[in-house]
Structure 1
Amino acid sequence: MLIVGCGDVGRRLATRARQRHQAVYCLVRQDRSVADLLENGLNAAAVDLDLTTPTLTGEWDQGQVFYLAPPPAQGGTDPRMQRFLAALPTNKPHRIVYISTTGVYGDCAGEWVDESRPANPQVDRARRRFDAEQQLRHWRDAGNGTLVVLRVAGIYGPGKLPLTRLRSNTPMIGADAAPWTNRIHIDDLVSVCEAAMARGRDGAVYNVSDGHPGNMRDYFDRVADLFQLPRAPLIGADEALTALSPGMLSYLAESRRLDNSRMLEELGVTLRYPDLASGLAACVSR
């Protein structure tokens, strides 16, 4: 197994694979990440995909690939994906599971969205992800291997909660102005990734969420209450234009509710945390 981009999700995938006595190889960007992975018994190498096309020969040429590396922070394309695909040997088939984002759907005005909805990325961060999807489709269509795309909702879990924002008293808009948002617990995402590699239909896209949309204000309030922190100050939509970061505003400008039926039915996963209440309770218990 090759994991490209070994952050929180990648490390969990790697740990589970090692428990199954499966060889794992991790490509990361920084030398300090390599050292940490090696200390934990994982094979790792540093490659800067902004500058370098990696060499994937010998034991590094793994048939199963989880591509978790984010695109660059600027532009509307993903040259990192281009360099990675150029490095894949063509003498044997590969199977790639790619972690994309539900942001490729764009603003859906709060409608329910399944995988038949055409992509309509409206900001560069989503355009970069969709560009990576398209590159992978061209690679697959050329007969190089099989592909499964996971369009993942907002990831939460231990270490992935807005505690810093709450402690700094950063404001948030009210529930009446907050868009629909979707989430998936990181442990469930890892299980979905494994199921996609094992059972995902070649060429398929899967929405990855817990299937219980909420709004961002409610999410922040629940986290604050569970961790006994003050709730974020309430502001209106107009005030948010100057009080919130451009990144947060871009998320607030899009509203959709994800249908996860295909994920549940085709991948056969049973979510450990099927709603926000159960997932947050587990975060507190840890």
Structure 2
Amino acid sequence: MADQSIAEMLSRRVKLANGMSMPQIQLGLYMMSGREAASSVKWALEAGYRGFDSAQWYHNEREAGQSILNFLSANPSLKREDIHFTSKLRDNSTSYDVVRKSIKKSVDTSGLGYIDLFLLHSPYGGREARLTSWKAVEDAVEAGEVKMAGVSNFGVKHIEELMASNPKVHPVVNQIEVHPFNTQLAIRETCEKHGIVIQAYAPLARAMRFKNKTLLAMAKKYGCTAPQIMVRWSIQHGFVTLPKSSQQKRLIENVDVGKFEISQEDMETLDGLDEGLVTDWDPTDAP
């Protein structure tokens, strides 16, 4: 029963404004060495994960891509299209050519033939760099190197700036830190207005609040773990969620959240834990 439940959760997909979809639960590969990424992706694929979130900055695109290729080779019933792979531009640039080359390099490094979702990793660099970089991503989509485009760590003004530029390709997601201790309401409302799905990174708040009394009481009530409550909260808000673990047992346990549903009242209690907790960096107010 547990395995069915996990498989069902991992098969869930979120519809995007462009008519395409992506797995709602994906494995985040942040701060994983190449070796860790290779083994984590392998375990995750075996458990039923079909989405993986990498970045140029993570230096594990090659190992993650190779793990995916190895798995597809060993499982001929699955195709490349069944796996969703994300990467991100390390640095925005005012040079269109620099960004185009950088995107092509990511595609080549991953070895996957194309990247499903490519994001601007942050709004750093200023307006000209953001919009020039976006133009390069749009053209990568048109060239078939990338299937979908999005942004990461974009604040309200960055989203509005991009949408005001009348982009040829609309961003399908904004990947930001979101969890009960940092609910990011203003950014979420702006994204919703423009049909942009929220991708929640650090949905477990990097384990910084696992001993929170409210969270522990909730876990006890629903007969689950604190991380499972946080993943379930993310799912019930409709986010694409990216729980990260390099431990085989944990990356399966984290997504075993199909046996319970958090009540509306308890969701509101969890929303009320918001303290603006930033677990790593917050470029959302970059100039």
Q: Do they fold alike, i.e. is TM over 0.5?
A: no
Higher relative contact order (CA 8 A, sep 6+): 2
| TM-score, scaled relative to structure 1 | 0.33
Larger radius of gyration: 1
| TM-score, scaled relative to structure 2 | 0.33
